[in-house]
């Protein structure tokens, strides 16, 4: 046995350290493995139903066959992926392509000049994308002091209404009886609840409003009401905030009053105040409430395979038609969230990542991707809405959903115009106003005043 | 070279050798090399997984403007209050119960061993799944607890997680339920280590029951109890499982503690530096605790 000396130990330790470092690089950091010019690492969030992941794997597999390149695909559940992405961007150890999860991450890190410009990729299909998708792909870069195209639109989502037909009918009413204007539409479900209570239904609520300060649902709900009440210009396309606009303030007060009031008056499940994004889906499936206002068709596609009767007969999706008009009878534009593919600066193989995205956004590929995922997500090209899948007369949900989110009047989310709105959303400023009214007995006006004060503070941080 | 300088040189050499020996901890030749071989991996792991993350964290949270932003967040103040309550009640109630229960489990009998086995189950089962179960049990509409209340007494139970104080109470009780068995076992081990002769002598002198506890058992356990309390406080400051999975920080972000606020700021607000600052703001409390703990461990003899 060789004699152990101090030098040999130190040399051995250094060698051991180097080996360990090499091993961790190989095992833990994909960017080393993709040193070959034909490999790119791609991060996607896991689908709500397995079909979404199958659709993604197929698209990736088809690309690999077509190009000869290799994609190291990482599919992670929604919430951990969000953390993984933020950790990656903070540490600088980034993949070659990722998805904007959370959605506003495109704008947050675009502000910090952390994305590779992908306008050349988008350009290949630019004429086919919806205007909302293209606008949502942009972000203000606070380093270059101009807006850039940092996202490649891949799929979209909108917020329709989901209704249990059997509960409406049990209350002695019909789906066809549901009014077409905003307040009357939601008041209808209060009547459904009242009728059901008279029949001894102890735990069924009319409205599945997410009066909570968790997740993205409460913001989506509030913004749908704000837009319906005329507050669409809270932030204009130039990024300016308009809290001093009386129409915006009035709309915010009405939205806060209606949602908070519905909770206070007992038309919303009490536990809604502590829901996360999945809880309203679960509560809806448990028939705790008659209707839910929730993004995507996740509620419906979750039961399609196991309970086809629920999908085809019992559940009603109110996209367009069905989604209520404003109180004057005019259509209400829907806020559309766009999933974007992005290439972070520091990516080792930008060329393959861009080539993969160019392949992915070909109409045939991107169209098949959303269709194989059961249509939970919408396509981002209006021409794709005409496919037999989306126009299937036997499917009770898809046509209305695609009409609402792709063909009807749509607007991008407000953080696209000003990044500060992302923080307003994530700090749940409007949720707190709704909860103040719902639970703390605060009047809508002071609740909105408090919210507006906080919004102004947040916007002050994002002066370009 | 004259004689004086030769003496000086040899003195210098002796001093150097003594210093070197002292540096080597009295180890010689191969012993020292082996010691080095065992220490180097530990030092490497310590640097990589302890020193680096701590320094990186300090660097991330070093910007004063982060703290201005943090203090301006309305949720921060309530999170500080929640953290204080969580620590004060969670640690002290748990440790006091553990102290009492450790005495109870000193009783002889085979059934006591069976009872102890059942008692430690909450600690043995995975905490996340149990906290999620508690969250569901407390659901106001369809939760187990309110259903039992309704079935047995036709009483509509409160919505436990809809009110700040009941939700925070649920978090604290869940923590106590989960961790009391662990600390009971530690204190039980401490009690068992008290020499039988001391207890017998005390008993002969009339120190039985409460007097025996006050004058014999507790003084001998005091150091262990204090160290356990300090350790538990440090553990609890960094704990976010109970809050995240029992109350979710709700309602309306009213039950966040600093650890969960840090996670929220880092990943929901997508501002990791602010998240680090939220956790760093607990340092003024952590550092004195660690110093007291270290002093206690260094100076106090184990009394049990």
pLDDT tens profile B52-72:
988 988 899 888 999 999 998
Supply φ then ψ for residue A283, to 5 degrees: -65, -40
CB neighbourhood size of A240 (10 A): 11
Do B249 and B112 have their domain in common?
Answer: yes
What's the average model confidence in pLDDT over B100-108? 92
- Hunting for tokens 């990542």 — which residue is that? A353
CATH number of B79's domain? 1.10.3720.10
Q: Which residues of B touch A274 (CB under 8 A)?
A: 161-162, 167, 247-248, 250-251
Q: Which residues of A touch B266 (CB under 8 A)?
A: 83, 86
Report how many domains make up chain B: 2
In tens, the pLDDT along B29-43 reads 788 888 889 999 999
* CB-based contact, A422 to chain B, within 8 Å: yes
Do B76 and B196 have their domain in common?
Answer: yes
End-to-end CA distance of chain A: 68
- Counted across chains A and B, CB pairs separated by less than 8 A come out at 95
Supply φ then ψ for residue A288, to 5 degrees: -75, -25
* CB-based contact, A13 to chain B, within 8 Å: yes
Nearest to A108 among B34, B162, B270 (CB): B270
**A271, A433, A454, best to mutate vs chain B, most B CBs in 10 Å:** A271
Q: Which residues of B touch A269 (CB under 8 A)?
A: 141
d(C-alpha A235, C-alpha A231), whole Å: 9
**Which of B12, B37, B60 is where one domain is finished?**
B60
CA distance to partner chain A, nearest, from residue B141 (Å): 7
pTM, whole model, 2 decimals?
A: 0.83
Do B175 and B254 have their domain in common?
Answer: yes
Packing angle between helix B283-299 and helix B218-237, nearest 10 degrees?
Answer: 150
Do B131 and B9 have their domain in common?
Answer: no
Low-confidence ranges of chain A (pLDDT < 50): 1-2, 9-10, 14, 16-36
- Hunting for tokens 């695609």 — which residue is that? A402
CA distance to partner chain A, nearest, from residue B239 (Å): 18
Q: Do B161 and A274 touch (CB under 8 A)?
A: yes
Supply φ then ψ for residue A341, to 5 degrees: -95, 135
Closest CA to B272 of A167, A235, A112, A262: A112
Length of chain B measured in residues: 304
Q: Do A270 and B141 touch (CB under 8 A)?
A: yes
Distances (CA, A) of B207 to A333, B216, B285, B288, B303: 81, 8, 39, 37, 19
Do B144 and B255 have their domain in common?
Answer: yes
One-character DSSP codes across B207-231? --HHHHIIIIIHHHHHHHHHHHHHH
> What pLDDT does B46 receive?
94
Closest CA to A332 of A261, A229, A462: A229
B16 located within any domain: yes
Do B13 and B93 have their domain in common?
Answer: no
> What pLDDT does B301 receive?
53
Tokens of B212: 């025996």
Do B82 and B100 have their domain in common?
Answer: yes
B230 located within any domain: yes
Strand partners, A45: A76
> A362 Cβ partners below 8 Å, 6+ apart?
A125
Closest CA to B63 of B287, B282, B290, B275: B275
Q: Which residues of A touch B74 (CB under 8 A)?
A: 454
Closest CA to A356 of A137, A54, A118: A118
Mean residue pLDDT across chain B: 88
A119-128, A329-338, B1-10, B227-236: which has the minimum mean pLDDT? B1-10
Domains of chain A: 35-156+337-405 (3.40.190.10), 161-294+427-461 (3.40.190.10)
Closest CA to B37 of A20, A13, A21, A1: A13
> What pLDDT does A449 receive?
98
Q: How many CA atoms does the CB half-sphere of A167 hold within 13 Å?
A: 30
Do B120 and B249 have their domain in common?
Answer: yes
**Which of B38, B60, B82 is where one domain is finished?**
B60
Nearest to A270 among B72, B162, B270 (CB): B162
CA quadruple B92, B97, B99, B100: dihedral sign: positive
Do B82 and B39 have their domain in common?
Answer: no
Nearest CA in chain A to B29: A5
Do B241 and B144 have their domain in common?
Answer: yes
Nearest to B141 among A83, A271, A426 (CB): A271
Do B14 and B146 have their domain in common?
Answer: no
Closest CA to A209 of A141, A286, A268, A133: A268
What's the average model confidence in pLDDT over B233-249? 92
Q: Do A90 and B33 touch (CB under 8 A)?
A: no
Tokens of A283: 């509560």
Q: Which residues of A touch B167 (CB under 8 A)?
A: 274
CB neighbourhood size of B41 (10 A): 13
* CB-based contact, A211 to chain B, within 8 Å: no
In the three-class reduction of DSSP (H, G, I as helix; E, B as strand; rest coil), residue A255 is classed as: helix
Nearest CA in chain A to B43: A13
Nearest to A82 among B30, B37, B267 (CB): B267
CA distance to partner chain B, nearest, from residue A175 (Å): 26
One-character DSSP codes across A123-169? HTTGGGS-HHHHHHTEEEETTTTEEEE--EEEEEE---EEEEHHHHH
CA distance to partner chain A, nearest, from residue B154 (Å): 12
Q: Which residues of B touch A86 (CB under 8 A)?
A: 266-267, 270, 272
> What pLDDT does A145 receive?
93
**Which of B36, B60, B84 is where one domain is finished?**
B60
Q: Quote the domain boundaries for residue B92.
A: 69-299
Distances (CA, A) of A248 to A225, A229, A452: 11, 8, 11
Do B26 and B101 have their domain in common?
Answer: no
Q: Do B251 and A439 touch (CB under 8 A)?
A: yes
> What pLDDT does A22 receive?
43
In the three-class reduction of DSSP (H, G, I as helix; E, B as strand; rest coil), residue A292 is classed as: strand
B304 located within any domain: no
CA distance to partner chain B, nearest, from residue A445 (Å): 19
Q: Do B252 and A273 touch (CB under 8 A)?
A: yes
Strand ranges inside chain B, DSSP E: none
Nearest CA in chain A to B167: A274
> What pLDDT does B4 receive?
57
B103 located within any domain: yes
Nearest CA in chain B to A16: B41
CB neighbourhood size of B126 (10 A): 8
Packing angle between helix B164-192 and helix B218-237, nearest 10 degrees?
Answer: 140
């Amino acid at each position: 046995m060789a004699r152990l000396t101090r030098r040999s130990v130190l040399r051995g330790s250094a060698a051991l350290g180097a080996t360990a470092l090499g091993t961790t690089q190989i095992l833990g950091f994909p960017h080393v493995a993709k040193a070959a010019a034909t490999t790119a690492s791609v991060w996607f969030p896991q689908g709500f139903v397995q079909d979404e992941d199958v659709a993604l794997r197929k698209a990736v597999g088809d690309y690999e066959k077509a190009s000869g390149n290799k994609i190291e695909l990482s599919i992670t559940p929604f919430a951990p992926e969000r953390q993984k992405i933020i950790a990656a961007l903070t540490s600088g150890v980034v993949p070659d392509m990722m998805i904007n999860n959370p959605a506003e991450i495109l704008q947050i890190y675009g502000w910090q000049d952390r994305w590779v410009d992908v306008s050349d990729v988008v350009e290949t299909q630019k004429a086919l994308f919806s205007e909302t998708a293209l606008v949502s792909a942009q972000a203000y870069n606070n380093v270059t002091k101009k807006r850039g195209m940092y996202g490649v639109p891949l799929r979209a989502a909108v917020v329709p209404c989901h209704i249990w037909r059997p509960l409406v009918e049990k209350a002695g009413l019909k789906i066809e009886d549901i009014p077409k204007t905003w307040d009357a539409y939601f008041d209808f479900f209060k009547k459904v609840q009242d009728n059901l209570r008279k029949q001894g239904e102890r735990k069924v609520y009319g409205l599945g409003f997410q009066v909570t300060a968790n997740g993205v649902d409460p913001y989506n709900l509030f913004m749908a009401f704000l837009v319906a009440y005329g507050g669409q210009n809270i932030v204009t396309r130039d990024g300016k905030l308009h809290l001093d606009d009386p129409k915006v303030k009035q709309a915010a007060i009405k939205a806060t009053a209606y949602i908070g009031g519905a909770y206070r008056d007992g038309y919303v499940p009490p536990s809604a105040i502590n829901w996360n994004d999945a809880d309203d889906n679960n509560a809806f499936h448990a028939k705790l409430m008659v209707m839910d206002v929730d993004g995507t068709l996740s509620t419906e596609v979750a039961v399609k395979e196991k309970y086809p009767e629920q999908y085809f007969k019992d559940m009603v999706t109110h996209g367009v038609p069905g989604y209520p008009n404003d109180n004057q009878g005019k259509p209400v534009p829907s806020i559309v969230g766009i999933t974007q593919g992005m290439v972070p600066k520091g990516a080792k193989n930008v060329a393959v990542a861009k080539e993969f995205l160019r392949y992915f956004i070909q109409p045939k590929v991107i169209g098949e991707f959303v269709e194989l995922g059961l249509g939970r997500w919408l396509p981002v090209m209006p021409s794709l809405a005409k496919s037999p899948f989306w126009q299937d007369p036997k499917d009770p949900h898809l046509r209305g959903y695609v009409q609402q989110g792709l063909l009807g009047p749509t607007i991008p989310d407000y953080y696209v115009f000003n990044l500060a709105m992302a923080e307003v959303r994530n700090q749940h400023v409007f949720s707190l106003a709704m909860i103040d009214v719902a639970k703390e007995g605060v009047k809508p006006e002071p609740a909105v005043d408090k919210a507006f004060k906080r919004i102004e503070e947040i916007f002050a941080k994002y002066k370009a | 070279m004259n004689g004086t300088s030769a003496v000086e040189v040899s003195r210098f050499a002796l001093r150097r050798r003594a210093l070197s020996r002292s540096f080597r901890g009295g180890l010689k030749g191969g012993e020292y090399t082996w010691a080095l071989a065992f220490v180097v991996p530990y030092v490497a792991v310590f640097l990589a997984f302890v020193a680096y993350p701590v320094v990186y964290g300090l660097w991330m949270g070093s910007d004063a403007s982060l703290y201005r932003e943090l203090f301006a967040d309305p949720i921060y103040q309530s999170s500080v209050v929640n953290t204080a309550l969580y620590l004060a009640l969670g640690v002290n109630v748990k440790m006091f119960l553990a102290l009492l229960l450790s005495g109870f489990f000193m009783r002889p009998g085979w059934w006591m061993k069976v009872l102890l086995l059942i008692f430690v189950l909450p600690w043995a089962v995975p905490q996340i799944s149990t906290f999620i179960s508690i969250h569901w049990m407390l659901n106001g509409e369809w939760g187990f607890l309110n259903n039992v209340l309704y079935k047995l007494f036709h009483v509509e139970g409160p919505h436990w997680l809809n009110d700040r104080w009941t939700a925070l109470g649920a978090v604290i009780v869940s923590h106590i339920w989960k961790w009391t068995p662990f600390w009971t076992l530690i204190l039980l081990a401490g009690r068992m280590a008290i020499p039988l002769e001391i207890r017998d002598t005390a008993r002969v002198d009339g120190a039985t029951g409460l007097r025996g506890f006050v004058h014999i058992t507790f003084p001998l356990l005091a150091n262990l109890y204090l160290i356990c309390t300090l350790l538990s406080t440090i553990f609890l400051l960094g704990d976010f499982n109970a809050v995240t999975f029992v109350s979710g920080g709700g309602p309306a972000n009213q039950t966040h503690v600093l650890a969960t606020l840090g996670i929220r700021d880092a990943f929901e607000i997508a501002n990791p530096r602010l998240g680090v600052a939220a956790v760093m703001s607990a340092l003024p409390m952590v550092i004195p605790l660690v110093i007291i703990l270290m002093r206690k461990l260094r100076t106090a003899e184990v009394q049990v």
